[in-house]
Amino acid sequence: MKKVLSYFNKITIYIKDSFRRMVSAVKTDAMYRRFVYLFVGLNVILLLSELDIMNYSTVSLYAYIIIFTIVALGLNILLGFSGLMSLGTAGFVGFGAYGVVYFETLGFPYEISSLITIVIATFIGLAVGLFSLKVEGVYLAISTLAVGEIFSQIFKRVTWFTNAYGGVHYKYPTLLGFIELDRNMTYIFLSFVMVVMMVVMYHLTKSKTGRALLAMSRSNSSAQAMGVSISKYRLFSFVVAILYATIGGILYASFYRYVQPLDWNLMLTLLILAMVVVGGMKSIFGTFLGVFIIYGIPKLYLEDLFSSVSGVAYLFSGILIIVVVMFYPYGMIHVTHDIKKLYNKYKIHKQNKLKAGDGDE
């Protein structure tokens, strides 16, 4: 017991230390600043809705965007960095959602239920990762599809876990056993977790680990020659992707307080995939943008405009994917880069003109 406590102590010191250094790095690292802006921006939406400037339901929509940004970030690590494919994402989101509800009905507090769910997901992730060592490419995609399908059958049939078609009800989380969150607090909590997950991804990908993943995805043999263990990093990326998906699921249950079996299907997985591809592979803010484009724009604007046409959202994302893959293979986030480039060009052009004018005199 003492050992556990001392270990726990160490971790807290570690986190504190890490946090201190991050705060001091905010001045020098623009990424940290952007994380802060995003957090503030998301909560301004909450404020606007409280002031009745925005719809009450808009918050709920942004909660969805937050949750699926987390999920898509995980898939982005797997797809964008490690070059691996998974079609089981939705299954793991569903597992996270059902898991936290189930373990809380067993009497565990919110944090412990989440932790148990995460630990189980890690083991499943390890199993999937181990399996992935044996199969490549399309076959890997198909096998993960099967994993997703198994989950979706479990959600429909294993009554003690999911209450089958009835679904399960939940409540807003109670943190540390006494901080009872309401809807708005839960939303803030969600946006906080999302930013933390973004920071984790930022740190991971800009490290030896991230470089190893990239090396592996570009060429197995070249990575091996540099001492990168393919099996280790494959396992790692599957576990990370599945953890992100599971955490997304836990947050889904925490905010929407109702989980039903039919939501976690291949369609959702493909939408998450579209979010990653459209937003931008390897890009953290691109992923957020991708989720906003694929989910937010249809819900916010298109569905009102085209309420008579059903499925317009899917049509929209379908067309977008084709356009992005053809013209913007690095994702929509690069539009900003291009605009910047154009602007710089324009500036240089103007300067040259000025100079030429000087010469004339």
Partner 1 sequence: MSDNTNKSYVLKPGTLLDIQNLSMRFGGLTAVNNLSFDIKENEIFGLIGPNGAGKTTVFNCITQFYKDKDGIIIFNNKKNEIINLNDIHVEKIIKEGLVRTFQNVELIKDLSVIDNLLIGAHTLFKSDFIGHIFRSKRASEEETFYKAKALEILKFMKIDYLKDQYVAGQPYGILKKIGIARTLMSNPKLIILDEPAAGLNETETTELSKLMIQIKENYKCSILLVEHDMGFVMGVCDRICAINFGKFLALGTPDYIKRHPDVQEAYLGRDDE
Looking at 212, 247, 272, 294, which residue binds partner 1 (CB under 8 A)?
A: 212
Q: Is 211 in the site for partner 1 (CB under 8 A)?
A: yes
Size of the site for partner 1 (CB under 8 A): 31
- Shorter beta-carbon distance to partner 1: residue 57 or 229: 229
Residues pairing with 154 in the sheet = none
Q: Is 203 in the site for partner 1 (CB under 8 A)?
A: yes
24 in helix, strand or coil?
helix
CA distance 82 to 238: 9
- Shorter beta-carbon distance to partner 1: residue 282 or 299: 282
- Shorter beta-carbon distance to partner 1: residue 215 or 275: 215
Q: Is 250 in the site for partner 1 (CB under 8 A)?
A: no
Residue given tokens 């819900």 in the structure block: 299
| Residue 288: other Cβ atoms inside 10 A | 26
CA distance 278 to 287: 8
CA distance 101 to 107: 10
Looking at 12, 222, 310, 336, which residue binds partner 1 (CB under 8 A)?
A: 222
| Residue 263: other Cβ atoms inside 10 A | 17
Q: Is 22 in the site for partner 1 (CB under 8 A)?
A: yes
Which span (9-17, 86-94, 150-158, 244-252) binds partner 1, by CB under 8 A? 9-17
Q: Is 134 in the site for partner 1 (CB under 8 A)?
A: no
Two tokens at 165? 């078609």
Which span (10-18, 52-60, 258-266, 336-344) binds partner 1, by CB under 8 A? 10-18
342 in helix, strand or coil?
helix
Q: Is 226 in the site for partner 1 (CB under 8 A)?
A: yes
**HEC assignment per residue over 70-119:** HHHHHHHHHHHHCCCCCCCHHHHHHHHHHHHHHHHHCCCCHHHHHHHHHH
> To the nearest whole angstrom, how small is the minimum distance from the Cβ of residue 19 to partner 1?
9
Among positions 65-124, residues that touch partner 1 (CB under 8 A) are none
- Shorter beta-carbon distance to partner 1: residue 78 or 313: 78
> To the nearest whole angstrom, how small is the minimum distance from the Cβ of residue 227 to partner 1?
4
Looking at 21, 30, 52, 357, which residue binds partner 1 (CB under 8 A)?
A: 21
Looking at 93, 132, 191, 282, which residue binds partner 1 (CB under 8 A)?
A: 282
Looking at 181, 214, 272, 324, which residue binds partner 1 (CB under 8 A)?
A: 214
With 0-12 / 13-18 / 19 or more C-beta atoms within 10 angstroms meaning exposed / middle / buried, residue 204 is middle
Residues in the chain: 361
Q: List, in sequence order, the alpha helices (H) in 158-280.
A: 159-162, 183-205, 208-218, 220-225, 230-256, 266-279
What Å distances lie between residue 259 and 3, 89, 163, CA to CA? 38, 16, 10
How does DSSP classify residue 361?
A: -
Which span (13-21, 66-74, 258-266, 352-360) binds partner 1, by CB under 8 A? 13-21
- Shorter beta-carbon distance to partner 1: residue 16 or 169: 16
How does DSSP classify residue 270?
A: H
- Shorter beta-carbon distance to partner 1: residue 153 or 207: 207
Q: Is 359 in the site for partner 1 (CB under 8 A)?
A: no
Q: Is 27 in the site for partner 1 (CB under 8 A)?
A: no
The residue ranges that bind partner 1 (CB under 8 A) are 14-15, 17-18, 21-22, 200, 203-204, 207-212, 214-215, 218-219, 221-230, 236, 282
